Amino acid sequence: MLARRAPTAAPLRVLVTGSRGKSSIVRLLHAAFAAAGNETWARITGVVPRELGPDGERTLERAAGGHVDEMRWWLGQLPRSAGAVVLENSAIAPDLQPLAAQWLDPHLTVLSGVVPDHQEAWGSTPAAAATALARGLPRGGRVLLPAQLHEDSVLRQLLDLHGCETEWVEPLGEPGPLYRAVNRGLALAVCRHFGIDLARALDAMRAMPPDPYEFRVAHRGGLDFALAFSANDLTSSRDLFRSLDWPQEATRVVYNHRRDRPLRLRSFLPWLSDGRWREVWLVGDRPAGWKAGLPYRRLRSVQQLLAGCAPGDRLFGCGNIAGLPLALYQEETSS
């Protein structure tokens, strides 16, 4: 029953899947397609699911937790006038990965990365993540990937098994963090495929307002708080910390834990426990049977979190966005 295709026949249909950067790529494509004159609809998933339409962005309210069938529902209620549709694959379980492609029938699929993210579902290695995510690629379809993934022999074998036509995309050569260059490079490659003017597309991407949940440094009460909670995986979190050029000895790490993501915490522990940080705080859900050397802090508000700091402090937040960090992001957005 779940595999029925939703009734959308938009002439430009793009699926974005992978383990990092999906929401950013969806937003970039929405801006570029709209600037080219298309009535564009896009959907971002995650803790705060959102729809991007011709009139802007709105939050999709959930009565309960997320469900993979949200994608089919969303596709089914789009107007027939839609000229372009960009869908972020929200499936986590490996056996549910193919549904987004079956419902959307995309012209192109973007695979943003294969870093272990949802370890409880995918396993703890890049090979396991690649195996799970490859199940969501349309067989025989055209797939765009970051050029640095070409070194992943397991992924290349999986792409061959699926009969995918692959395009390895180089990062956009411009100043700024690498992740932004990778995402913009992928989005421009999609635009090139559809014959969209690349200069106009890039102008639209650069003019986009920042995503309220993307990585940034907030300044609160004289301290600097790097908000990397939405990065999820260790590799991305480490890369974001390096981009700050902050000394570990002067930085306090705040790891926000979710009880349903115990393996994510386990993957972060060697980095958190290397002894060079000024301090490490574990917040959020208390891990079951917690006996590690990292101190756990039971915090109920952003104010409690910031009360333990002083002007001039540097905090790096990572792990999971749900809970207290989400309130912090929302405070930053509304201020």
Contacting residues for 237 by C-beta, under 8 A, at least 6 apart = 228, 231, 268, 271, 318, 319
Do residues 164 and 46 share a domain?
yes
Query: Residue 117 domain-assigned?
Result: yes
CB 13 within 8 A of CB 83: no
> Taking the chain (335 residues) in consecutive chunks of 10 residues, what is each chunk's mean pLDDT?
57 94 95 98 86 91 72 92 96 93 96 86 86 94 96 96 97 87 97 97 94 88 92 89 95 94 91 93 88 83 88 94 86 70
Residue for token pair 């050569």: 173
Do residues 77 and 170 share a domain?
yes
Query: Residue 1 domain-assigned?
Result: no
Query: Residue 34 domain-assigned?
Result: yes
What is the rounded radius of gyration, in angstroms, for the C-alpha atoms of the chain? 20
Neighbours of 301 (CB within 10 A): 11
Do residues 85 and 148 share a domain?
yes
Do residues 232 and 127 share a domain?
no
Q: pLDDT tens for residues 15-74?
A: 999 988 899 999 999 999 999 999 999 999 866 789 999 999 998 876 556 678 889 989
Looking only at Cα atoms, what is the longest distance across the chain?
Answer: 57
Residue 334, pLDDT score: 66
Q: Which two tokens stand for residue 107?
A: 């012209």
Judging by beta carbons within 10 Å of its beta carbon (0-12, 13-18, 19+), is residue 328 exposed, middle or buried?
A: buried
Residue 117, pLDDT score: 78
CB 43 within 8 A of CB 86: yes
Q: What sign results for the dihedral spanned by CA atoms 297, 301, 304, 307?
A: positive
Amino acid at the residue 91: A
Q: How far is CA 186 from CA 26, 78, 112, 162, 191, in A?
A: 10, 25, 8, 21, 9
CATH number for the domain harbouring residue 112 = 3.40.1190.10
CATH number for the domain harbouring residue 225 = 3.90.190.20
Neighbours of 203 (CB within 10 A): 13
Do residues 88 and 123 share a domain?
yes
Contacting residues for 236 by C-beta, under 8 A, at least 6 apart = 20, 115, 179, 228
Which residues span the domain enclosing 244?
216-334
Q: How far is CA 95 from CA 20, 68, 135, 156, 274, in A?
A: 20, 11, 8, 20, 37
Do residues 195 and 84 share a domain?
yes
Q: Give the total number of structural domains in the chain.
A: 2
Do residues 296 and 183 share a domain?
no
Do residues 301 and 323 share a domain?
yes
245: left (phi over 0), alpha (psi -120 to 50) or beta: left
Q: pLDDT tens for residues 77-115?
A: 999 999 999 999 999 899 999 999 999 999 999 999 998
Query: Residue 87 domain-assigned?
Result: yes
Residue-wise DSSP of 43-95? EE-SSS-EEEETTEEEE---SSS--TTHHHHHHHTS-TT--EEEEE----SGG
Query: Residue 102 domain-assigned?
Result: yes
Do residues 196 and 257 share a domain?
no
Q: Which two tokens stand for residue 280?
A: 């490490």
Q: Which of 206, 231, 252 finishes a domain? A: 206
Between helix 22-35 and helix 178-193 the angle, nearest 10°, is 40
CA atoms within 13 A on the CB side of 243: 19
Residue 4, pLDDT score: 46
Query: Residue 18 domain-assigned?
Result: yes
Query: Residue 243 domain-assigned?
Result: yes
Residue-wise DSSP of 170-211? PPP-SSS-HHHHHHHHHHHHHHHHTT--HHHHHHHHHTSPPP
Do residues 223 and 134 share a domain?
no
From the centroid of its chain, how far is CA 164? Answer: 23
Q: Which of 206, 238, 262 finishes a domain? A: 206
Query: Residue 2 domain-assigned?
Result: no
